[in-house]
Amino acid sequence: MLPYFPFDQQFNHKVGTVPLAENDRLIEVDEHYQVEIALKRQLLTELPTYYYQTLPGHQIAHWEVVETVLTNLARFMPNQFALRKEGNNWHWQNHLLNEETTFTFGDKTTLPVDPLDWAGRQIQEDLILLAGNEATLVSGQLCFGNGWCLDEKMGLPFWQIHTPIVPILEPMMRSAQKLMERLPVGRPVGRMNWSVKVTDQLDMTSRHTPALDQLLANHLPYLTPEAIGDYLYIRIERQTLTRLPRSGAILFGIHTYQNLLANEVIERPACADQLARVFITTPPAMLAYKGMDHFMPALFAYLKECNHS
Ligand code: HEM
C-alpha cells in the first residue's frame, strides 16, 4: 500500500503544502532502499552529467544539504545511520549499505564526488537546489524524475520551470511562487503530487519519454475496464521544501512511491471511490498533461465496478 494517498473528495487546486512537524522526517527510508540506491548509483555511473548537475558558486548550500541529510537520517534512524563530528572531521556510518565515510566538512576534496551528489547517493530522494529571489534551479541530482530532466531546467527560475503548468493551474502556481519567496528558515513544508503510469519504472527522466509514450501506445488495446487495474501504477511524489539557513537556498526533495492500481484498490478501502472523485474533477488539460486522457473511460469504468463489488 502507498504510504500516502493524496486523493480525497476532489482535485486540489491549492498548493497543498503542509508544515512538517518537529517529528516528521525530511528523508524517508523504506523497504526499497537498497534496490533504489543501487539503481541511482548505477545511473550516476553511466550518465553522471545527465543525472547530476551544478552551476558554479553553490558550495555553501551543498554542504548544508550534506548536514541536513545526514543529521536527519542519524536522528530518526539511529540503528541504521550514525554521524560523529569532531570539529570539521565527520565520520558517517551507513549500516544499511555497510559503508563508512570520513571527510572534512567544507572540503570537497575529501569526498569522492561533489557534496550534493554524495548526499543524494545516501538516500532515495531526488535533491534539487533553488537559489536567489526567483528560486532558480542551480544544482540537482535527479534520477527518478517524472517527465523532466536537469538539462531542460537548469538555470531556470521557478516560474519558467513550470511553463507547461502555468496556463492550466495559474492561481496555484502564483501561490507556489509566493511560497518559494517567503519560506522561512526552520519551517520546512511538504506536499504530494500524483500521476498514473503504465509502468513502475522509477527513472522517467525525459530521455525515456519516447519509449514510455510507445509503451503506453502498445498497451492501449489491453487497457479494458476488466484488465486496466493490473496494468496501471499510481505514482506519487512526497515533495519537501526546506530553506537552508546559511545560503538561503531552498532544498527541494522528491521521494517517489508507486503501487499497482489493483493492489492499492484491494489494500485500501474507499480507494476506488476517492480516485474516481479526484479524476472526474481534474481539469481535462491536466489529465492530458499527465498522459492519462487516453485511458480515462476504461479507468472510470474500472473504478465504478470496484465500488460495486
Ligand atoms: C509548492 C511548490 C510546487 C507546486 C505547487 C508545484 C506544482 C506542480 C504541478 C501542479 C506540476 C504538474 C505535474 C503534475 O501534477 O503531475 C508540476 C510539475 C513540475 N514541477 Fe512543480 N511544483 C512545486 C515545486 C516545484 C519545485 C521546487 C520544482 C523545482 C525544480 C518543481 C519542478 C517541476 C517540474 C520540472 C515539473 C514538470 C514540468 C514540465 O513538465 O516541464 N516544482 N509542479
Q: Whose CA is nearest to atom 10 of ligand 1?
A: 165
**What pTM was estimated for this model as a whole?**
0.98
78-133: pLDDT as tens digits = 999 999 999 999 999 999 999 999 999 999 999 999 999 999 999 999 999 999 99
Residue with cell 527510508: 29
User: In the prediction, which pLDDT does 124 show?
Assistant: 98
Alpha-carbon distances, residue 105 vs 64, 75, 279 (angstroms) = 10, 19, 47
Q: For residue 162, give the DSSP letter.
A: T
Domain-located, residue 13: no
Q: For residue 222, give the DSSP letter.
A: G
User: Which residues does 208 contact at the CB level (< 8 Å), separation at least 6?
Assistant: 201
Domain-located, residue 9: no
Tell me how many domains the chain contains: 1
User: In the prediction, which pLDDT does 309 show?
Assistant: 75
Q: Which residues of the chain have pLDDT under 70?
A: none
Domain-located, residue 133: yes
User: In the prediction, which pLDDT does 307 show?
Assistant: 86
Residues touching ligand 1 (Cβ under 6 Å) are 15, 17, 128, 130, 137, 147-148, 153, 161-162, 164-165, 169, 172, 176, 179, 191, 193, 195, 252, 290
Domain residues for 236?
A: 18-308
Pocket perturbation via mutation, ligand 1, pick of 165, 173, 192 by most ligand atoms within 8 A of CB: 165
